[in-house]
Amino acid sequence: MVQPTRNTIIILTPAFPRNEKEDWWVPSQQLLVRSVKQQFPELHIEVLPLLYPHQTTNYEWHECQIRPIHGLRFSKLLRPLRWRKVWQAMNIVRQKHNVMGILSFWCGESAAIGHWFGRRHGIRHISWICGQDAAGSNQFPKYLRLRSTELAAMSHFLADNFARNHGVKPAYIIPNAIDIHSFPSSAGDKRDIDIAGVGSFEPLKRYPLWVELVAKLREAIPDISAIHYGMGVEQERCRQLIEQYQLQQHCVLAGPQPHETILRALHRTKILLHTSRYEGCSTVCLEALYAGAKVISFCYPFQQEVSNWYVVKTKEEMLARALELLKDKETDYRSTLIHSMDGTAREMMRLFGVTAGSAPLPALANNA
């Protein structure tokens, strides 16, 4: 048997881009993976996506090895076969490389496999709690009984929710962040988009309410300009509402667009209206702030107050705050940086004993 030599982190995730152009898939997670590789080029990264992409051919992504499982080919009754495929793939990696740690995205199926594989082979596993996995509807934490030192939450909001719903407080806060290197220059950009929305048209995001608010704002600002980027099940309903409110000349549903296009639009945006009823730590809110836009939302992930991020409780408050900002000619659209993904990548790798400027440590014993 060949002695494993390369220090490696295994990453388990439900989905991952099938190529470097698919930058809309799990954006926070792919930004973290890319930043880890940039910060620690000597570290080998193996990503195992359970469900997407729909292929089983391995490929390289930003110098990381991707081993897709294509788990959707197995029905719910055959889920153990999917788990077996993941386990086999992880064993292949373990035989070839020195696996220092296992990182799973969301405390769900990925965390279950990572937890048991790590326990079997004495490899530390960390689950990054990213959103709805902190909610009470998630059944995996109840059966896994993970210790706090195996859990890292994307925000204090998620850590508190996870503790309240599952009885375990995550030991670590590893914040969501943005890649500041991917932002275009804002020099000379005109703020000609009054209201922006970015995200999937899922019921949780409440984008019909977003259209309704744009319609209300138009009553006070007749030439209002609004644009939304994304796709999903409620897209057609929102399109019908735009016609109902006669907003065709004021509200554009641009569909899914490359990340670069969205960042350029945020530099032209005055307000990002984020109507979601639940949010762990929204990437687009962080990006909008860094692009100089204001953010108005119902959810807030931080313990401290953040400049240019306004939190409201009702749609009436959201409407009033948006109208106040749009009417104020002195509104200052100044860039606000909360977290950079470079820092988040370093904090995450520190949990596995990997630190910047030093050689990686041997694999940690699984004490979680």
- Looking at residue 126, its pLDDT comes to 98
What is the full DSSP assignment across 145-179? ---GGGEEESSHHHHHHHHHHHS---SEE----B-
pLDDT tens string 28-68: 999 999 999 999 999 999 999 999 999 999 999 999 999 99
Record the pTM: 0.87
pLDDT tens string 307-332: 899 999 999 999 999 999 999 988 88
pLDDT tens string 257-302: 988 999 999 999 999 999 998 887 889 999 999 999 999 999 888 8
**Joined tokens for residue 269:** 């945006």
Q: Does the pLDDT value for residue 362 go beyond 70?
A: no
- Looking at residue 326, its pLDDT comes to 96
**Which among 280, 298, 279, 296 is positioned nearest to 288, based on CA atoms?**
296
Burial class (CB in 10 A: 0-12, 13-18, 19+), 21: exposed
**Joined tokens for residue 335:** 């860039």
**Which among 250, 168, 236 is positioned nearest to 207, based on CA atoms?**
236
The C-alpha atoms of residue 256 and residue 236 are separated, in whole angstroms, by 14
For residue 363, name the pLDDT band (cuts at 50, 70, 90): very low
**Joined tokens for residue 305:** 């107050």
Q: Which domains does the chain have, with CATH numbers?
A: 7-177+341-350 (3.40.50.2000), 180-327 (3.40.50.2000)
The C-alpha atoms of residue 179 and residue 329 are separated, in whole angstroms, by 30
**Which among 360, 345, 357, 358 is positioned nearest to 97, based on CA atoms?**
360
**The 251-253 sheet, strands edge to edge:** 251-253, 226-229, 193-198, 269-274, 294-297, 309-311
- Looking at residue 76, its pLDDT comes to 80
- Looking at residue 4, its pLDDT comes to 62
